[in-house]
A and B are shown apart, each in its own frame.
Chain A
Amino acid sequence: MATTPNFEPPGALLRRIDRVCRERIAPRAAEVDARGAVPAASWRDLAEAGYFGLFHPTCWGGSGADGAAQAQAMESLATACASTFWAASISTVLCGKMLYNLCSPEHQWRWLRPIIAGSKIGCFAASEDGAGSDPGSYRATVRRSRHGSRLSGVKSRISNASTADVAVVLARHEGRDGSGLCYAVVDLHKRGVSRSEMPRVSLRGMSWGTLTFDDVELDDGDVIASASVERTLLSVEWGQLLQAWSSVGLASAAFDACRRHMLGREAFGRPIAHLPVLQARLADMRAEIDAARLISTEVSLLKARGQVAREAVLIAKIHSTEMAVRCADAAMRTFGGWGLSPRHPVERIYRDSLANVPAGLPTDRLREMLGCNLLGVSPWAYEPFDWLSAAGLRLDLPSAPLG
């Protein structure tokens, strides 16, 4: 796998990535969606262009690019193909940053280095069938015994589930010190790991599915039980930034499609670009996208400096993801009936935009967290409600053994 050249004029790296996105990735987007897979050629193209290394230091083969460069590259790739962007970025940005922030140098040597080279794929496994926003109800558990640690449980709705080589798994931890949450670095080719794909309407080119762990053996070093809230936030926020840029890219693609269509499509004797209603829609799209780009770039700058973005990333995620659906909807209206046809990219953009809203904590939950922040109250505080017993719930966490 080619590595990024060490010495090149400033801007050359970004121009190369942008060119690869426009000339190689974007033309494959429709087929990626139709076939349900990102081709190996795209993976190679991105690796050679240096995309995976943008987010990581040179000691692991990265380029140590600044936040502005990361922002531009993410937008370029996200505009070209949402599924490819997600697959590549879940691996290098979300999983990669978890490995870097939470795990040992040994893990980074074993997994982060090849992720940066593009020869291995990573994923982050947190949500389960019965648990999304509420990590307190996870059932997947790492159990310590004198024979070592073992992971059992099922994670679902995991990006890159079928294609990944390694997973950083967020699970319950039961050991001598009681129970809490822990991270486990799991080689997905180990005995006891099985996977399956889940059908979906959005991001069809990316792998998305279930990881089942059946008593998977873990070395002690593979279990990280002491991750602080700060370190967790530091890493998890990269995922939310990923969703924000995916949305900016999708909205940008919708905007460009509208612009071209308005200039070419004729009705009542002239291009529909002359219609004030369509002009108003285009102007409003531009305003929303510009605002999303501004806040997302700010978050990229913060994250690249190793900081926690806190409210800025909540704002970026909530606004960008929801505005992308609005822009995609506006594009559908501009294309009229043609919006429904795969001859144009808007129907794929519309479907893909839907995934970003619930991903990485749904916007409903993020709004609550933001609102609580404003009010100085905790989003984790218990509020009594009157159907507790009727719903069969208990106040403490379940300790039932896994099936």
Chain B
Amino acid sequence: METRTIEPSCADPAGRALAFALDRVAPSAAARDRGARWDGALFLAAAQAGLAGAVIPQKYGGEGLDARRLGGCLEALGRGGGDAGLAAALWAHGVGCGVLLARLGSDEQRRRLLPPMARGELLASPAFDEDHEAGDPLGVQTRAERVKGGWSLRGKKRWAANAPVAGLWLVSAVTDPGAGPRGVSAFLVEKGTPGLSVGPRLDSAGLRTAAFASLSLEGCVVPEQGRLGPEGSCLTLAAPLLRRWTRATALAPWVGLLDALLAHCAGQAQRRQLWGKPASRSQQHRAALADLKIRLELARRMQARAAEQLDLGGPDVDIATSCLFVGAQIRAMAEGARSLLGPLALEPGDLGERLARDAAALGLLIEEDSLLRPVIAGATLGMG
């Protein structure tokens, strides 16, 4: 089948994304990865190309795209830019936080926060996850006590994307300890709030062009209008929404990244020598390349299905299944490509070497298989 070639064009969001990625992201990707360098100016430029506000409604300055067209943009960003970290940062900001604010935010919150988010001037960080203690079914230990004018938050959040460079953090906290899943609320914490401290930036082998850190909330006072969505609705509204969007769209850049990786491997097959002949003559090499192609094309379609199901309101189980499948293909392809490249992967800035490390950090982006599989099996078996 022909791989769809996207001609760079201002009218088409995916075309704009590809042009931006080729022009601004690709040239510095290897160097930024080597130095683990966060580039704020590059993030701003990505916003100007429409990538920060892709799903933010147009009336707030965003592109107002649906999940399918968002997927097209993210794929183009991945294919042209070769930078999984930047894609992850843009996703966490514009989709992870953007969707929650757009769907659950009050008029005031949306009017005030979404436009600067779409412009990339206000960076947002989704900081819901915590280290789980044994016997804690909610997964949230951070507490919010009612104080005059708002709430006082106390707790710790881990691995929040964009945390070191953000101006806005979305967090969850228990507002009613006796109410179980209906006792957790979501909050918006803005930069400069006393009691908020961001931990040291995570030193990671993968996704090095992104920035992750833990959060500490010690008597961090959030005003009344800082609550996101109705009280007690975090686990019933915000979390499921974020989960669906994560499972259905967070891996979209990888379809493009892996597309570029496969082309890279095919090109390198002519360079690499095996027993005095190019590796392209080796039957095993050809078979391994074919396997990468198969994985890529299946992942492409399962990823597209996930986005389509999200747009159409399809079943959670199908979206979760797509996420499980695409994640497995990413890991297998990244490792398979590195092995195919052999010593060529050791060349400085090699895409295969970098993506193998980024794929190993997939746990920073999506749920582990050990969480996805029981969800899928439970739905299949009618066990809830």
Q: Which residues on A are within 8 Å of B, measured CB to CB?
A: 259, 262-263, 273, 276, 278-280, 282-284, 286-288, 290-291, 294-295, 298, 309-312, 315, 318-319, 364, 366-368, 370-372, 374-375, 377, 383
Contacts and interface: CB of A to CB of B under 8 A. Distances in A.
Contacts of B325: 287-288, 290-291
B280 A377 contact: yes
B314 interface: no
B246 to A, nearest CB: 17
A283 B376 contact: yes
Contacts of B298: 291, 294-295, 315, 319
B372 A283 contact: yes
B242 to A, nearest CB: 21
B381 A263 contact: yes
A298 B301 contact: yes
A380 to B, nearest CB: 13
Interface string B170-196: 000000000000000000000000000
A262 B290 contact: no
A315 B321 contact: no
B5 to A, nearest CB: 16
B275 to A, nearest CB: 12
Contacts of B374: 276, 279-280, 283
25 contacts: A259-B380, A259-B381, A263-B382, A276-B374, A279-B378, A282-B377, A282-B380, A283-B324, A286-B321, A286-B380, A287-B376, A290-B321, A290-B325, A291-B298, A294-B301, A298-B301, A311-B293, A311-B297, A364-B287, A367-B291, A370-B290, A371-B285, A371-B290, A372-B286, A375-B286
A377 to B, nearest CB: 6
A289 B230 CA distance: 40
A291 B296 CA distance: 11
Interface of B is mostly: helix
A381 B1 CA distance: 22
Contacts of A383: 281
Nearest to B378: A279
Given A263-B381, A280-B377, A370 B302 contact: no
Contacts of B373: 276, 279-280, 283-284
B328 interface: yes
Contacts of B270: 375
Contacts of A309: 1
B287 A291 contact: no
A375 B289 contact: yes
B258 to A, nearest CB: 13
B286 A367 contact: yes
A284 B373 CA distance: 7
A112 B138 CA distance: 64
Given A283-B373, A294-B302, A315 B293 contact: yes
A318 B288 CA distance: 13
B294 A370 contact: yes
Interface string B267-292: 00110000000001101011111110
Contacts of B289: 370-371, 374-375
Given A295-B297, A368-B286, 11 more contacts: A279-B373, A279-B374, A283-B376, A286-B321, A287-B322, A287-B324, A287-B328, A291-B301, A318-B290, A367-B290, A371-B285
A375 B269 contact: yes
A318 to B, nearest CB: 6
Q: Lowest 3 A-B CB distances belong to which pairs?
A: A371-B286, A279-B377, A283-B376
Contact of B293 (A259, A263, A374): A374
A276 B375 CA distance: 11
Interface string B362-384: 00000001101111111011110
Nearest to B382: A263
Contact of B318 (A278, A288, A290, A310): A290
B44 interface: no
B266 interface: yes
Q: Which of A276, A318, A375 gathers the greatest number of chain B CB atoms within 10 Å?
A: A375
Nearest to A289: B321
B294 A315 contact: yes
Contact of B381 (A282, A287, A295, A315): A282
A370 B290 CA distance: 6
Most chain B CB neighbours (cut-off 10 Å) among A287, A288, A318: A287
B243 interface: no
Interface string B1-15: 100000000000000
A283 B301 contact: no
Nearest to A260: B381
Contact of B290 (A280, A284, A374): A374
Contacts of A371: 285-290, 293
B287 A290 contact: no
A399 B125 CA distance: 74
Contacts of B269: 375
A296 B46 CA distance: 37
A286 B297 CA distance: 18
Contacts of A279: 373-374, 377-378, 381
B380 A368 contact: no
B266 A311 contact: no
B381 A370 contact: no
B183 to A, nearest CB: 28
B1 to A, nearest CB: 5
Nearest to A368: B286
Interface in B313-352: 318, 321-322, 324-325, 328
B322 A290 contact: yes
Contacts of B324: 283-284, 287
Contacts of A315: 293-294, 297-298
Contacts of B383: 273
B262 interface: yes
B340 to A, nearest CB: 11
B110 interface: no
B305 interface: yes
Contacts of B262: 374
Nearest to A371: B286
B293 A370 contact: yes
A311 B1 contact: yes
Nearest to B377: A279
Given A259-B381, A273-B381, A287 B290 contact: no
A55 to B, nearest CB: 22
B381 to A, nearest CB: 5
B380 A375 contact: no
Contacts of B285: 371
Contacts of A377: 280
Residue from B281, B290, B369, B375 having most chain A Cβ neighbours under 10 A: B290
B352 to A, nearest CB: 15
Nearest to A262: B381
A319 B325 CA distance: 13
Nearest to A279: B377
